[in-house]
Structure 1
Amino acid sequence: MNASAYFETEHAQRYLGTLCKHFGHKVTVVHEPGFGRIELPFGRCALHADAAGLRLTATADDRPMLDKTIQVMSSHLERFAFRENPDLTWTGAEGGEA
């Protein structure tokens, strides 16, 4: 299962780096310019930064693990981007909100 959200911001590259660096102390992380992947014990999140914003795509084996991945990624981005007050809307593979 997967779900995606897009956060419009001029600071996408910075938030991508901050998230990868933060989680890199605890779990496996891939970080390249414009791309990151965070491997949590219960799911994964791919991050893609462009000039307009940051796309997050969460993937997990079932709905409870997907929900936990979404919650962890959302809460961390909200903490790191508190000045911009991100309001993420996650859209699931079924086309509804996750």
Structure 2
Amino acid sequence: MNSATANVPTENGSRYLQQLCKHWSHSLDVDFTPEHGTIIFPRDARGADWDDDAKAVLKAEPENLAIRLEASSAEHLAALKGVLERHLDRFAHREAPLTFDWQAG
């Protein structure tokens, strides 16, 4: 399993977490509260042919949105990073682009 974490500086982490989770709850398995969210990306989501499901875990903190991604391959992980960044930047249009300091593992 490939994974990456990022801490995104923002005072609106809870708002963005909830917007993202609500947005994807119509088509993906999503569980969230104002402080914590989990999104499961099935292996066949959007026509992708990944080896396994992927997961995003989000945690809203007072001045930060913490993100952890898990995917079956480095390619899948890179694609998820891009999707998450684009969606969060869209929701955070007033302070976009957000800063994502991705770290392996």
Kept in 1: contact 2:7–2:100 (CA 8 A) = yes
Q: Kindly indicate whether residue 93 of structure 2 is the aligned counterpart of residue 82 of structure 1.
A: yes
RMSD between aligned residues: 1.1
For these two proteins, the number of residue pairs brought into alignment is 93
Kept in 1: contact 2:16–2:92 (CA 8 A) = yes
User: 2:80 is matched with which residue?
Assistant: 69
Kept in 2: contact 1:44–1:69 (CA 8 A) = no
Please give the residue correspondences for 1:13-32 in structure 2 after superposition, counting only pairs within 5 Å: 13-32=14-33
How far does the alpha carbon of each residue in 1:9-46 deviate from its partner, in whole angstroms, 9 at most, with x for none? 11111001000000101100010231001111242100
Kept in 1: contact 2:29–2:39 (CA 8 A) = yes
CA distance in 1: counterparts of 2:69 and 2:93, whole angstroms: 21
SS of structure 1 residue aligned to 2:77: helix
Please, which runs of 5 or more residues in structure 1 have no aligned partner? 94-98
**Rg bigger for which structure?**
2
Q: Which is further off, 79-88 or 12-21?
A: 79-88
Q: Which runs of 4+ in 1 moved over 2 A?
A: none
SS of structure 1 residue aligned to 2:4: strand
TM-score by length of 1: 0.89
Please, which runs of 5 or more residues in structure 2 have no aligned partner? 44-53
Matched residues, percent identical?
Answer: 33
Kept in 2: contact 1:12–1:54 (CA 8 A) = yes
CA distance in 1: counterparts of 2:16 and 2:72, whole angstroms: 26
TM-score by length of 2: 0.83
How far does the alpha carbon of each residue in 1:37-94 deviate from its partner, in whole angstroms, 9 at most, with x for none? 111124210000011110111100111111111111111001111211102121112x
CA distance in 2: counterparts of 1:55 and 1:44, whole angstroms: 14
